[in-house]
Amino acid sequence: MASLQPGTDEVIVAGNMTFVCHDPQRIGSTGIWLEHNPLNYATPLLLIQLVIITLTSLLIDLCLQPLGQSSIVSKICGGIVFGPSLLGHNNAIASALFPLRGTVVIETIATFGIMFFFFEVGVKTDVSMMLRPGRLAIAMGTSVMFVTLVLTTPLSLLLKAYVPMDDSLANSLPLIAASQCLTAFPNIACLLAELKILNTDLGRLAISASCFCDVMGISLMAVTFSIMDTSNLLRSFLAILSTAALLAIIAYVFRPAVLWVHSHTSEGKVVREIYITAIFIAVLVASLVSEIVGQHYILGPLVLGLAVPEGPPLGAALVTKLDSFVSGLLYPTFLTVSGLKTNIFKIHLQSTWIILFIVLFASLAKIGAVLLTAHFTDMPSREALVLGLVLNARGICELAIYILWKDDQILTDQEFTLVVISVVAVTAIITPLIRALYDPSTQQFPVKRRTIQQAKPGAELRVLVCIHNQENVPTIVNLLEASCATEEGPVAVIAVLLVELVGRAAPMLIAHQPHYTAEPNASASRSGHIINALRQYELYNEGCVTVRSFSAISQLETIHEDICRVAFDQNATIVIIPFHKYWAIDGSIGSVNRAIQNMNSKVLDRIPCSVGILIDRGILNGSMSIINSQSEYRVAVLYIGGPDDAESLSYGVRMVNHNNVTLTVIRFLLFGSDNARERKLDTDLINAVRHANAGNEAFSYQEEVVRDGVGLATCIRGLENCFDLILVGRQHQASTLLQGLGEWIECPELGVMGDFLASSDFGSAASVLVVQQQRVLGGRMMNRGMKPVVNDREMPLHLPGMQSHGGVTATTAGDSGVTWPISMDRI
């Protein structure tokens, strides 16, 4: 054959086969200056394809975001735009941008993308959720999968027998119907992450059910691939045996090796590059062996990923290496390639109605299966409906199967186009429906008055402390110690360690065993240090203090859900959350974490009790501990008026009973102010506190009369080096006292006074606790009296889904709270 000139690829069509004659030397272009079109060469063509499909997908995603659509819709649509259905229908555009000679290259790139994507999914997956799901997850997963399979497959056979259709559709219709029963974990995890409901009860149940479905689905697919394309039982048996051998090698050779690497890499340390490289090579080998034994090439990488321990250090390191490149470029390329293969001009109207009927029936069957199961488990119908919609999520798993069937000529262009469009259509419909029907931020909890001010005398103080940074522990321990735990007034500490979700797909809420002390090898880790410090505080106050520790592993943008859940379940009186700024030892701002700031704002809006934001400046005075110390711990309460100041005063009054604590209450009065009702209520509370502490040398009270915000700021600056801890309320009524201070507010979550005390202009080494008293019903303040009151009446607020969820129980009255599906730490 004569050599081909640039741009003159020869295409030969023979039946269903297309042959492309391409010059193998046309890899890199010599440039446009030599009068050659760079797109006639493989490398420039691939680059331009990746660029345009990525930019087009991003543009479509921006357009669809206001409609609440999932990103998978935009990525597939990006391929459809350049496929034969739209722009690709023009031969000039198709031959220039997506010619046949470039198909093998871009599909190979997409293959590597899907291979490493499924490996990453396996790394992020918690295997225990697949092997040990809850009873409700098993019931949901089993009913959804088998009800859909049992109803949809016979329906396809009836349609095949009694409805006229193409021969190709008749042959593939049972397989298409059977594929509707898939409930793939990657699809659901991606959808829940985009909807930001991963760590809600509904999201956790959906994840558990889909993981259990994946166990059955992977097993069935492995067996199907083993017996497919074989003509006798011996070959089928050998195919199954070889697949079992591959899985055994991964389980008993590869997994012990990665566990060794995991155990020899301390948390916070960098995993050695040679280990990362070796694991990536193992992914390629596992994919190759999967192909050799007759399985799909993604089976080996997926199981290999499941063998890697999720989370830091190893799992997080692998995900960090892969996430940007694979999830950001190669994974969208695979979805776009799926769209490129669709051709709406091959579709017949009769076939469209048949596939539409099958897909719609299967979707309704899944929802019906969930509703039926929910009926016997007392799950609310609304939540069951949303769960049914979530379990209908379609995505990359279905596309991978459909592309395989198309390559094996099980599906023709018509059937493939219809099933790809069905994936887009179902996802496009259920995503906005889920957003409309399920909004966890609007749920109301049944709450009692949970404030320090309104607690009974001698009642247990239940403090939930959120710890994100290990350096905050000394100041937190000082705050807890100053809370004055006694046998008559004990303190219960609920510690929630905030861990950012890295290297995992699903969030976790881990309840550490009571009286658990980290072993020496674990104490080197961040969580080990924190748990041991709190355990030492508990031992020092033995009989007066109890400590319960949790680890909330979640994305910081949704971790407030776990904080509110634990606060409600544990009947917390006050929640202490960290400030988003961290001080350096020289007094400057060392670091700023905006994700923590956003978390704090969400907690303030939703928390079912009082809350305090702790501005930790302990590093400026050497993180002095008041445990086993005779030095004074000087506490000040800055009082202007209002429920938040009343709460901070109540907390300070409790502290003054500690032997090492001195309390100074400073009340700021406006010059010439009349004796309004609000001021009278504040005065009554102050007088009650002064009367209760009469004769207590550790208590002092002073009043400052100021004319405006300038005078207030001047008075506060005079306190810069006088105290170790300052308590102040978050919000105050509009007053001339605060005039001018709120114009340049930087941190609105702190309020005017808190923002001033947290600013770098306030040159104090004192830590600050900004307190907000409990809010209910959409942010309305509770009716406060300025004297301690106790309200035992439960407010009749309705929370959808607060009944039994199969191991998840809740009560609507009394003080027993709610028990949630929490993973137990068994170390």
Please report the DSSP string for 352-392 in residue order.
Answer: HHHHHHHHHHHHHHHHHHHHHHHHHTT--HHHHHHHHHHTT
Please indicate, yes or no, whether residues 504 and 410 belong to a single structural domain of this protein.
no
Q: Please report the pLDDT score of residue 231 as a whole number.
A: 56
pLDDT band at 514 (very low <50, low <70, confident <90, very high): low
pLDDT band at 19 (very low <50, low <70, confident <90, very high): low
List, for residues 80-136, the tens digit of each pLDDT value: 888 788 887 777 777 777 777 777 888 888 888 888 888 888 888 777 766 677 788
Please indicate, yes or no, whether residues 334 and 480 belong to a single structural domain of this protein.
no
- pLDDT at residue 727 above 90? yes
For the chain, how many helices (H) and strands (E)? 28, 20
Kindly state the average pLDDT of the residues 288-297: 83
Q: Is residue 816 part of a domain?
A: no
> For all residues of the chain together, what is the average pLDDT?
78
- pLDDT at residue 694 above 90? no
Nearest Cα to Cα of residue 341 among 398, 409, 403, 400: 403
Where is the domain boundary, 737, 756, 772?
A: 772
Torsion angle, alpha carbons of 187, 188, 192, 197, to 10:
-170
Instruction: Yes or no: say if 517 and 535 are a contact pair by the CB < 8 Å rule.
Output: yes
Bridge partner list, 508: 553
Where is the domain boundary, 437, 468, 488?
A: 437
pLDDT band at 678 (very low <50, low <70, confident <90, very high): low
Q: Is residue 508 part of a domain?
A: yes
Q: Please report the pLDDT score of residue 576 as a whole number.
A: 93
List, for residues 429-486, the tens digit of each pLDDT value: 999 899 888 877 665 454 567 888 888 877 889 999 999 888 888 889 889 988 888 8
pLDDT band at 769 (very low <50, low <70, confident <90, very high): very high
What's the CATH code of the domain at 636? 3.40.50.12370
Domain with 534 in it = 452-772
Instruction: Yes or no: say if 236 and 227 are a contact pair by the CB < 8 Å rule.
Output: yes
* Distance set, CA 565 to CA 189, 443, 466, 546, 627 (Å): 21, 12, 13, 20, 31
pLDDT band at 676 (very low <50, low <70, confident <90, very high): low
Please indicate, yes or no, whether residues 406 and 490 belong to a single structural domain of this protein.
no
Q: Please report the pLDDT score of residue 821 as a whole number.
A: 37
Q: Is residue 704 part of a domain?
A: yes
* Distance set, CA 366 to CA 50, 384, 393 (Å): 37, 11, 11
- pLDDT at residue 397 above 70? yes
Which of the pair, 779 or 280, is modelled with greater confidence? Answer: 280
Please indicate, yes or no, whether residues 368 and 473 belong to a single structural domain of this protein.
no
Which of the pair, 557 or 665, is modelled with greater confidence? Answer: 665
Q: Please report the pLDDT score of residue 363 as a whole number.
A: 92
Please indicate, yes or no, whether residues 413 and 489 belong to a single structural domain of this protein.
no
- pLDDT at residue 673 above 70? no
Helix (H, G, I), strand (E, B) or coil at 758: helix
Kindly state the average pLDDT of the residues 744-749: 83
Please indicate, yes or no, whether residues 630 and 567 belong to a single structural domain of this protein.
yes
Q: Is residue 17 part of a domain?
A: no
Which of the pair, 761 or 497, is modelled with greater confidence? Answer: 497
Kindly state the average pLDDT of the residues 180-207: 82
pLDDT band at 796 (very low <50, low <70, confident <90, very high): very low
Cα 210 from Cα 206, distance rounded (Å): 6
List, for residues 704-723, the tens digit of each pLDDT value: 888 777 888 888 888 877 88
Q: Please report the pLDDT score of residue 267 as a whole number.
A: 64
Helix (H, G, I), strand (E, B) or coil at 138: helix
Of the ranges 6-20, 306-320, 435-449, the best mean pLDDT one? 306-320
What's the CATH code of the domain at 251? 1.20.1530.20
Please indicate, yes or no, whether residues 351 and 400 belong to a single structural domain of this protein.
yes
Q: Please report the pLDDT score of residue 25 as a whole number.
A: 66
Nearest Cα to Cα of residue 423 among 437, 403, 408: 403
Lookup result for tokens 């009790």: 609
Please indicate, yes or no, whether residues 696 and 749 belong to a single structural domain of this protein.
yes
pLDDT exceeding 90 applies to what percent of the chain? 9
pLDDT band at 824 (very low <50, low <70, confident <90, very high): very low
Q: Please report the pLDDT score of residue 17 as a whole number.
A: 64
- pLDDT at residue 328 above 70? yes
Q: Is residue 646 part of a domain?
A: yes
pLDDT exceeding 70 applies to what percent of the chain? 81
Q: Is residue 30 part of a domain?
A: no
Cα 322 from Cα 687, distance rounded (Å): 63
Q: Is residue 788 part of a domain?
A: no
Please indicate, yes or no, whether residues 288 and 385 belong to a single structural domain of this protein.
yes
List, for residues 131-180, the tens digit of each pLDDT value: 677 788 888 888 888 898 899 999 999 998 888 888 888 888 888 888 88
Angle made by CA atoms 443, 446, 450, in degrees to the nearest 5:
115
Cα 548 from Cα 641, distance rounded (Å): 34
pLDDT band at 613 (very low <50, low <70, confident <90, very high): very high
Which of the pair, 744 or 785, is modelled with greater confidence? Answer: 744
Please indicate, yes or no, whether residues 369 and 456 belong to a single structural domain of this protein.
no
Range in 184-188, 491-495, 773-777, 781-785 with the lowest mean pLDDT: 781-785
Q: Please report the pLDDT score of residue 357 as a whole number.
A: 92
- pLDDT at residue 249 above 50? yes
Quick one: which H or E segment has residue 549?
strand 545-554
Please indicate, yes or no, whether residues 430 and 467 belong to a single structural domain of this protein.
no
Please indicate, yes or no, whether residues 622 and 684 belong to a single structural domain of this protein.
yes
Q: How many domains are contained in the chain?
A: 2
List, for residues 256-266, the tens digit of each pLDDT value: 888 888 887 77
Q: Which two tokens stand for residue 238?
A: 């050998």
* Residues found in the chain: 827
Cα 770 from Cα 613, distance rounded (Å): 5
List, for residues 30-42, the tens digit of each pLDDT value: 666 665 677 777 7
Q: Please report the pLDDT score of residue 228 as a whole number.
A: 57
Q: Please report the pLDDT score of residue 35 as a whole number.
A: 56
Q: Please report the pLDDT score of residue 186 as a whole number.
A: 83
Q: Please report the pLDDT score of residue 365 as a whole number.
A: 92
- pLDDT at residue 527 above 50? yes
Q: Is residue 804 part of a domain?
A: no
